[in-house]
Amino acid sequence: MSDWFKTLDRSHSDSIKWILAKNNCQSKECLTFDIADSDYETAPSIKQALLERVEHGAFGYTYKGDNYEEIIQTWNLKRYHSQIEKDKIIAIPSVLNGLAMILQELTNPMDRVIIQSPVYHMFKMVIEENNRIMVDNPLIEGDTYQINFKHLEDLYKKGINTLVFCHPHNPVGRVWTKQELDDLVDLSKKYDVTIISDEIHADIIMPGNEMVSLSSYMDNYEKIIVLQAPTKVFNIAGIKIATMILKSNDFFSKLEKAYAKLHLSSPNLFALTAIKAAYQNSDKWLIAQNKHIHDNFVLLKSALQDFDFVKVFPLEGTYLAWVKLTSKHLNISELLEKLQLQGVFISEGSKFGHGDSFIRLSLACSKEQLLKGLDIIITQIKKAM
């Protein structure tokens, strides 16, 4: 199993993550912890399924199969104890595509849409590219992060009726508790607000935490749409596939017609092969990966624990470490520039909103790659002090 998460050379695989690093690298060796995809192979079952499909040799028009929705149902029941309706599942190209389509079909130009920063920066981009107005309900920073329900209600009172929710939350690593979700759904129902829940990280959960999908609340409140995908957890983002889960007949009708109108209702055959292998035959690999990510997080915390101005926030879910550096001697932008000169690339927290003193690092890499990167990061921090 340890071989599952060994260092993989992705430099000649057209990886966006590694192309960006190589194009800006001024060192003999580059190490990137920036874009959120994994630097090791996907689950063996997925690789084998794809190889067998390629071996067949014919790649014509493909039917997604009568059991596609049942596979999605079974995964949601097994992983999140959530009963979803078979006839309210839409196969879509990606989570961001789903978000854009929902905004186009269920909101109007210049409508306001709430996000909760620091959060995945593409939310803001998709909202604004679709001629909607982004409104921020910043999370409350403490020992961990909390939802600012008071400010959220103030925004709801102003008539804003769409919330883009991130669960687990990228980049702060929260897996929202059942009580927090109860409160969110109750408040949203009170003001008739649609919740769009991005749950792409839902299967990357650390020990002691439980993922409760918002799909489990749909019987109580129909104005919830869940977007999920195997792409993040199984490192198959290049094979475009995601799922939209709904309850509302009105929402489903509008969105199903929108995808049909654009001829986007049929996933490509390799995506179908991959998602079926992921959800049916990859449990052992997924369990091992979550342990590997947790081990890497423990390693990161241990490596940085001697710096009293460095705070590593708790990691409940995702494979993304959220780290705050509070020393007045440290300028984050200058630190990242110096790290790039040494061949190390990490995400600057400011791009997520309310993260000017933060960095984000992907832990979905080999232990060896992480250790090399941490050695350079620690050296540069010491030089800056």
Given this model, what pLDDT does residue 32 score? 94
Structure-model confidence comparison of residues 251 and 16, the more confident one: 251
* pLDDT of 266 higher than 90: no
Mean per-residue pLDDT for 165-192?
99
* pLDDT of 272 higher than 80: yes
Q: Residue 351: which of 371, 322, 311, 319 has the closest Cα? A: 322
Q: 61-70, 183-192, 234-243: lowest mean pLDDT where? A: 61-70
Tokens of 330: 């440290």
Given this model, what pLDDT does residue 253 score? 98
195-243 pLDDT, tens digit each: 999 999 999 999 999 999 999 999 999 999 999 999 999 999 999 999 9
Given this model, what pLDDT does residue 64 score? 87
Mean per-residue pLDDT for 370-384?
94
For the chain, percent of residues with pLDDT exceeding 90? 89
pTM, whole model, 2 decimals?
Answer: 0.96
* pLDDT of 55 higher than 90: yes
Q: 246-255, 275-284, 335-344: lowest mean pLDDT where? A: 335-344
Given this model, what pLDDT does residue 2 score? 66
Q: Which pairs with CB-CB distance under 8 Å and at least 24 residues apart come from 85-90?
A: 85/247, 88/245, 88/246, 88/247, 88/252, 89/243, 89/244, 89/245, 89/246, 90/243, 90/244, 90/246, 90/252, 90/255, 90/256, 90/259, 90/265
Q: How far, in whole angstroms, is CA 377 from its chain's centroid?
A: 24
For the chain, percent of residues with pLDDT exceeding 70? 99
Given this model, what pLDDT does residue 375 score? 97
87-107 pLDDT, tens digit each: 999 999 999 999 999 999 999
279-307 pLDDT, tens digit each: 999 999 999 999 999 999 999 999 999 99
Q: Which pairs with CB-CB distance under 8 Å and at least 24 residues apart come from 120-127?
A: 120/166, 120/170, 120/171, 120/198, 120/352, 121/351, 121/352, 121/353, 122/96, 123/99, 123/164, 123/166, 123/198, 124/353, 126/96, 126/99, 126/100, 127/103, 127/164
Given this model, what pLDDT does residue 339 score? 94
Domain boundaries, the chain: 2-44+283-384, 61-281
Mean per-residue pLDDT for 108-128?
99
Mean per-residue pLDDT for 72-78?
98
Cα 256 from Cα 241, distance rounded (Å):
16
Structure-model confidence comparison of residues 327 and 186, the more confident one: 186
Give me the CATH code for the 61-281 domain, please: 3.40.640.10
Mean per-residue pLDDT for 140-151?
98
* pLDDT of 137 higher than 90: yes
Mean per-residue pLDDT for 357-367?
98
Tokens of 267: 């996933």
Mean pLDDT, the chain, integer? 96
Band (pLDDT 50/70/90 cuts) for residue 384 is confident
Instruction: Identify the architecture of domain 2-44+283-384 in CATH.
Output: Alpha-Beta Complex (3.90)
Given this model, what pLDDT does residue 1 score? 59
**Phi and psi dihedrals of 32, rounded to 5?**
-120, 130
Q: 55-69, 163-177, 341-355: lowest mean pLDDT where? A: 55-69
SS3 labels along the chain: CHHHHCCCCCCCCCCHHHHHHHHHCCCCCCEECCCCCCCCCCCHHHHHHHHHHHHHCCCCCCCCCCCHHHHHHHHHHHHHCCCCCHHHEEEECCHHHHHHHHHHHHCCCCCEEEECCCCCCHHHHHHHHCCCEEEECCCEECCCEECCHHHHHHHHHCCCCEEEEECCCCCCCCCCCHHHHHHHHHHHHHCCCEEEEECCCCCCECCCCCCCCHHHHCCCCCCEEEEECCCCCCCCCCCCCEEEECCCHHHHHHHHHHHHHCCCCCCCHHHHHHHHHHHHHCHHHHHHHHHHHHHHHHHHHHHHCCCCCEEECCCCECCEEEEEECCCCCCHHHHHHHHHHCCEECEEHHHHCCCCCEEEEECCCCHHHHHHHHHHHHHHHHHHC
Mean per-residue pLDDT for 64-80?
95
Report yes or no: 134 and 115 within 8 Å, Cβ to Cβ: yes
2-31 pLDDT, tens digit each: 689 998 889 888 888 988 888 887 777 899
